[in-house]
Structure 1
Amino acid sequence: MQANQQIFFLSDGADNLRDLQFGMYPESTHVLDWFHITMRLTVLMQYARGLLVSDPEAGSKVLALLESIKRYLWHGNVVAALEHIDNCVMYCDDPELSYPSLKSLQKHLDEMYTYIRNNKMMIPNYGEMRRYGEPVSTAFVESTINEVIARRMAKKQQMQWSRKGAHYLLQTRTAVLNNELQDKFVCWYPGFQSDGKGPAMAA
């Protein structure tokens, strides 16, 4: 990797990972993974649907606010999203609410507010990025990796992977995704041609 190479980071916003990215490549593009935002919003909406059963009025208001929060974040409007999270907290602070999971809902709202506030510099206009064909999520990568590794690392599998084998496979897959595998083959095997035609083999 060249020193001046532009790098695009998609991450979950974890403190240690965010600090590492900015420390090593401060001039690169850093984007909060939309997949991780929607995961948190999905949990909040599940709680809000439970609140809807206990208190239809409060539940409908919180659900509507959560939908607005998702829309604001998709378009990169962090200020409005944080204001709406605050409004959700206000509705959930009503002492007359009898929702059994109210404390958990309040906890997740507080965590969501902190998560968005801490990563606000990494929240772009996702809708605009999508229109230009830029990636906004690693969901397909994470789900595929989780499924494959879970299957192959299982002890009941006849073709179980070793940790060393899994490590080598991930290195190979990374090289494929980065379009580097062909160059590596040329380096390892000088007779390898970039058009996919190797040297003629003796009969």
Structure 2
Amino acid sequence: MTGSTDQTALRDRTLHALWREGYCGFGDVTVISDGAEILKRLPRAMPRPTIHIIDWFHIAMKIQPMQQIADHLIRSRSGLLEALPSIDRDIRAVKWHLWHGRVARTIRDLERLLATLKQAQGDDKFSIARLRNLGLQLLTYVRSNRGAIVNYGKRYRAELRVATTLAESAVNSLVAKRMVKKQQMRWSLHGPHMLMQVRTAEVNGELRDRLRTQFRRPEPNVPSLFKPKPPLLRAA
């Protein structure tokens, strides 16, 4: 979303998009996001009932590298033989509790995991430090979004959406195709950013007004010694 971010503008844009998808003005609306502040404000501007939940895809992507590092430590037997079972068990418990919406228990498990990692001593200090840093990031993320973490297992069994995996995978595949792989039509870092600005303005109905805007030409970079003085400007 670009331009104005007040609640009225957010509501109008979202309702317009919902009406195009067949929304009739009643029924439950669920906002699934990664925790961005602008989307946290959206449910307050929407008709009731509207709820906001954190995308399970983003939660899972924060836990996955922690599990990978723990598996690496187990395979390498990096001197943490006593602590490794506890670390691996705590990471799996964190994911299980988050899936069932048990935020308070998740926070306790993460705090215990971080305390274990702080006292851990092993050969692979880099992996231990990396795992602890990821744990701190996840703990901050959970605390910041605890009100929007729900029982994903219950929603999944009720055939309700819990993630935007399809959209995320489509975006990731497009980015990988155009920016990561070496090919003739590879995008620059600046190109996709400008393309998204144009596309977002078009979706928000602001593109025509933006194209009509008279952009001020930048002043040439002339040294002050050669710039004409105000009297000369008036004389000219």
- Shared topology, TM-score over 0.5? yes
The RMSD of aligned alpha carbons is 3.2
Deviation at 1:47, TM superposition (A): 2.1
- Cα distance, 1:23 vs structure 2: 4.7
The one-letter amino acid paired with 2:73 is L
Q: Deviations over 1:120-139 (max 9, x none)?
A: 11111101101111000111
CA deviation map 1:134-172 (0-9, x unaligned) = 0001112111133235546897349xx9949x939x96x
Number of corresponding residues: 166
TM-score, normalising length: structure 2: 0.60
2:101–2:151 contact (8 Å) kept in structure 1: yes
Query: Is 1:104 aligned to residue 130 of structure 2?
Result: yes
Deviations 1:26-71 (A, max 9, x none): 8511111111111111111122223333113212211111111111
1:123 matched residue in structure 2: 149
Match of 1:20 in 2: 41
Aligned match of 1:7 in 20, 29, 32? 29
Indicate conservation of the 8 Å contact 2:31/2:39, yes or no: no
TM-score (normalizing by structure 1):
0.69
Deviations 1:106-133 (A, max 9, x none): 1111111111111111111101101111
1-structure distance, mates of 2:171, 2:117: 37
User: Quick one: percent identity of the two aligned structures?
Assistant: 25
CA pair 149-84 structure 1, distance change in 2 beyond 3 A: closer
The gaps in structure 2 that reach 5 residues or longer are 1-14, 187-191, 204-236
SS in 2 for 1:93: helix
Larger Rg: 2
Distance 1:152 1:42, change over 3 A: closer
1:149–1:103 Cα change, 3 Å: closer
Identify which of 153, 167, 176 aligns with 2:199.
167
Matched, 1:156 2:184: yes
Matched, 1:46 2:72: no
1:63 aligned residue (88, 109, 113): 88
Residues of 2 paired with 1:156 and 1:149: CA distance? 15
Cα 1:122–1:138 change in 2 (3 A) is: same
The yes-or-no answer on 1:34 pairing with 2:59 is: no
How far 1:17 moved relative to its partner? 3.2
Change (3 A) 1:18 1:26: farther
